[in-house]
Structure 1
Amino acid sequence: MKKTITFILLLLLICSGNSYNVYAKETPPSVSADSAVVLDAATGQLLYSKNPDSAYPPASTTKIMTALLTLENTNLNDKVVIGKNPPAVEGTRLGLYPGEEMTVRDLLYGLLLASDNDCAEALAEHISGSMDKFAVKMNIRAKKLGAENTNFINPTGLFNENHKTSARDLSLIMRALSKIPEYSKIATTLSYTIPPTNKSTQPRTVWNENKLVQKQSMYYYSGCEGGKTGYTIQSLHSYVATATRNGETLIVALVHDKNKTFFPDSISLFNFGFNNFQLVKLYSKGDVVTTYNKNKLSVPLIAASDFYYVKEKDDKSIPNLKLKNENLSFKLFKAGDVVNKATIYFKGTNIGALNLLSGVSHDEKQILNSDIIENMVIKNKYIIPAAILFLAAIAVFTIKKYIF
């Protein structure tokens, strides 16, 4: 019995002694939303998913697409003249007046902080002239972002059975929006006062409904850079938010939540992502990735951009790359030209591609002086006609270069 107890104590000591160095992957949290994801913003990789492509009515989380199109197509100081339709919209309203003049900035604060539907419609009309034309623009932009399970009918999120999106798609829209600095500035503001206008003598103050940015809230989340809630009776609750910690940005999206637990669920999902996964920079722009060596031609191949990947924190696996099969011996290029592409694999999965630039120039003179031409002519009589044609092509290229 004494030996058994000693053995158990020793085993516990061994197991606990190194626990602070081990990043054991946690069990993913349970959330009540019917569609949910955690997306790494740098790579677009999903770190968690629950029915990621199931589409539901998203309510006012729709407004992140309205905000994206506004920030992409207007200036914050642009003047907007309110038409007759926005003041009559259903749901939450700032209280706009027909003919009222207001800046895009003021309307964005009303849109993102207080979720005002009249602000959404005013911005839509300002950008596209009508709600229908703006919806077309919304759907075109969604498809460009890879949102394949999305169909927008209006800029507000007011219920329509054909107005739908999924958690994955919502996260892709937030990914694009979060790259615009003006968005985070607006979305993390706790309150904003809209000054008097030509139609309103009184200032109007809007308050941020996103509890993850409110320091006094029990749901405050350090690093949250913005979020948007949504609710209608038919659509239920939805939420999307972005947060950054230690240089890594994650996006959480929850769609169709009947229990209204999206704030605590989002915190659980953010913690799961940050605790268990790590963003790693594999190459920086300008790094020499590898060197092309063939036929006595040596070409440093340089990363055209930064390349990141995400891994579990306890994973020691290393990515590998596969170059496109390119023969550079007969190609003309300058230093800095794209001459190849590397496909990056991690644990057997394709995680992206990286354009490769040449670190040197390769001109006609170098080709003509290369051993490969000599070998073609001397060692293989059957390639002589091809060699002659190739040399003729080089000559024509050179003459055209200097004459034309």
Structure 2
Amino acid sequence: MKKTIIFILLLLFIYSGNSYNDVYARETPPSVSADSAVVLDATTGKVLYAKNPDSAYPPASTTKIMTALLTLENTNLNDKVIIGNNPPKVDGTRLGLLPGEEVTVKDLLYGLLLASDNDCAEALAEHVSGSSDKFAVKMNKKAKELGAKNTNFINPTGLFNEKHKTSAKDLSLIMRELCKNPEYSKIATTISYTIPPTNKSAKPRTVWNENRLVQKQSKYYYSGCEGGKTGYTIQSLHSYTAAATRNGETLIIALIHDKNKTFFPDSISLFNFGFNNFQLVKLYSKGDLVTTYSKNKLSVPLLAGSDFYYIREKDDKNLPHLIVKKENLNFKFFKVGDIVSKANVYFKGENIGELNLSSGISHGEKQILNSDIIENIIMKNKYIVPAAAVLLIVIAVFAIKKFIF
């Protein structure tokens, strides 16, 4: 009995030793105060951390990242905006815009993103859509296009309305899209900005960045932060979203409905968790050989139609695999670089995306006519054509006889 126990323990030891390379440790995810929170990889869109990611709450001024996104997509920075009667009347934080004042889109964006000025938000909304209500329609349409499923915007400011809500997941998707515009990061990482005198204001006005993660003198400064947006109302509580890049990897964090106002340290913990435990990997660069199509002596190099990335936990040695869509390319015309097929990419059993495959050669009429497959068809059917001709002649003779006689 004693020998049996020793033998079993020995087997367990050997097994655990052989399995050691497949085991990797990961930090315990941080605890955050916000009721809805997400860490999103900006390149792949994969969620790396989630706490009630789809629960919708009033987001306060983090709403303004959608206002900024639509402004950047629909205007030029040097466009002149003539302030209407409504923006100066808006509640909350204001730059002090006056009816009839002429201000550039650029200046209004600085007021919007640095100081969270509500009159700037209203002015931009009216400039883009004609009214705040029409702008809200555009906001909701854009949110759906980005994949937001738990969002409903009522205004461009984030002022409290019980129907004005979004989730951390949806907010991260909006932030992800906004970060694709280089002008956003330029504005959002500026510490202060002075709006020059206008036709209605003789004095310049300076706005200061409220995002401590970009302030080098702050204890919450975070190297690589590319911008962020705070939000607060009494009913909405605190919200925050930000982006940071390290070693070519960009992460988005979103925190909504934080009653303890710990969103700055919580964001740092979430960024560190993401960067410390996950790695962005390029599987293919555009033009890399993925596989080769081979059928009936036709050989077509299939190349990656674009860069393809995936994200994995650090020290995870598993590799993605591809399932190429079945295509018959022998009778298709295509040139070098044309997309001729697709492949689904799987990682650890999960479909992580689709990769377009382009051709490395041209394949036209000449190649098809000279191919073995055409020759085989002709050889197999060389007796069919004469037989069909004889049959047609016989039918014609009978028809003629019937008509004559």
Tell me the secondary structure at the aligned position of residue 267 of structure 1.
helix
Which amino acid in 1 is paired with 2:95?
L
Query: Counterparts of 1:224 and 1:23 in 2: how far apart (Å)?
Result: 28
Structure 2 counterpart of 1:346: 347
Query: Counterparts of 1:192 and 1:333 in 2: how far apart (Å)?
Result: 53
Structure 2 counterpart of 1:373: 374
State yes or no: 1:228 paired with 2:229. yes
Shift of 1:381: 8.5
Matches within 5 A, 1:130-149: 130-149=131-150
Structure 1 counterpart of 2:281: 280
CA deviations on 1:171-226 (whole Å, 9 max, x unpaired) are: 01000100111100100001111111111111111110000001111111000000
Structure 1 counterpart of 2:246: 245
CA deviations on 1:12-53 (whole Å, 9 max, x unpaired) are: xxx9xx9xxx97310100111111100000000001111111
Unaligned runs of 5+ in 2: 1-16, 389-405
Structure 1 counterpart of 2:107: 106
Which amino acid in 1 is paired with 2:59?
P
Query: Counterparts of 1:240 and 1:54 in 2: how far apart (Å)?
Result: 16
Structure 1 counterpart of 2:190: 189
Matches within 5 A, 1:206-217: 206-217=207-218
Query: Counterparts of 1:380 and 1:312 in 2: how far apart (Å)?
Result: 58
Shift of 1:367: 1.2
Structure 2 counterpart of 1:331: 332
**Cα pair 1:125 1:134 within 8 Å, conserved:** yes
State yes or no: 1:95 paired with 2:108. no
CA deviations on 1:140-164 (whole Å, 9 max, x unpaired) are: 1111111111110000000011111
Query: Counterparts of 1:381 and 1:125 in 2: how far apart (Å)?
Result: 74
Query: Counterparts of 1:217 and 1:240 in 2: how far apart (Å)?
Result: 18
CA deviations on 1:215-267 (whole Å, 9 max, x unpaired) are: 11111100000000000011111000000001100000001111111111100
* Root mean square deviation, CA, Å: 1.7
State yes or no: 1:358 paired with 2:359. yes
Structure 2 counterpart of 1:5: none
Structure 1 counterpart of 2:125: 124
Tell me the secondary structure at the aligned position of residue 223 of structure 2.
coil
Query: Counterparts of 2:121 and 2:194 in 1: how far apart (Å)?
Result: 18
Query: Counterparts of 1:306 and 1:338 in 2: how far apart (Å)?
Result: 14
The alpha-carbon distance between structure 1 residues 364 and 106, as it changes in their structure 2 partners (threshold 3 A), is same
Shift of 1:332: 1.2
Structure 2 counterpart of 1:392: none
Shift of 1:380: 7.2
Shift of 1:376: 3.0
Tell me the secondary structure at the aligned position of residue 264 of structure 1.
helix
Query: Counterparts of 2:123 and 2:284 in 1: how far apart (Å)?
Result: 44
Which amino acid in 1 is paired with 2:89?
A
Shift of 1:102: 0.5
Tell me the secondary structure at the aligned position of residue 151 of structure 2.
coil
Shift of 1:333: 1.1
Structure 2 counterpart of 1:256: 257
Structure 2 counterpart of 1:175: 176
State yes or no: 1:298 paired with 2:299. yes
The alpha-carbon distance between structure 1 residues 284 and 180, as it changes in their structure 2 partners (threshold 3 A), is same
CA deviations on 1:69-101 (whole Å, 9 max, x unpaired) are: 011111111100000000000000011111111
Query: Counterparts of 1:334 and 1:268 in 2: how far apart (Å)?
Result: 50
Tell me the secondary structure at the aligned position of residue 317 of structure 2.
coil
Tell me the secondary structure at the aligned position of residue 158 of structure 1.
coil
Tell me the secondary structure at the aligned position of residue 158 of structure 2.
coil
Shift of 1:134: 0.3
Structure 2 counterpart of 1:151: 152
Structure 2 counterpart of 1:271: 272
Shift of 1:298: 0.4
Query: Counterparts of 2:183 and 2:319 in 1: how far apart (Å)?
Result: 37
Structure 2 counterpart of 1:77: 78
Structure 2 counterpart of 1:391: none
Instruction: State the aligned residue count.
Output: 366
CA deviations on 1:255-311 (whole Å, 9 max, x unpaired) are: 111111111110000000000000000000111111111110000111111000000
- TM-score w.r.t. length of structure 2: 0.88
Query: Counterparts of 1:167 and 1:269 in 2: how far apart (Å)?
Result: 13
Which amino acid in 2 is paired with 1:364?
E
Matches within 5 A, 1:308-323: 308-323=309-324
**Cα pair 1:23 1:276 within 8 Å, conserved:** no
Percent identity over paired residues:
83
Tell me the secondary structure at the aligned position of residue 282 of structure 1.
strand
4+ residue segments displaced more than 6 Å: none
**Cα pair 1:214 1:220 within 8 Å, conserved:** yes
Unaligned runs of 5+ in 1: 1-14, 389-404
Tell me the secondary structure at the aligned position of residue 244 of structure 1.
strand
Which amino acid in 2 is paired with 1:228?
K
Tell me the secondary structure at the aligned position of residue 280 of structure 1.
strand
Structure 1 counterpart of 2:10: none
Query: Counterparts of 1:249 and 1:61 in 2: how far apart (Å)?
Result: 19
Tell me the secondary structure at the aligned position of residue 303 of structure 2.
strand
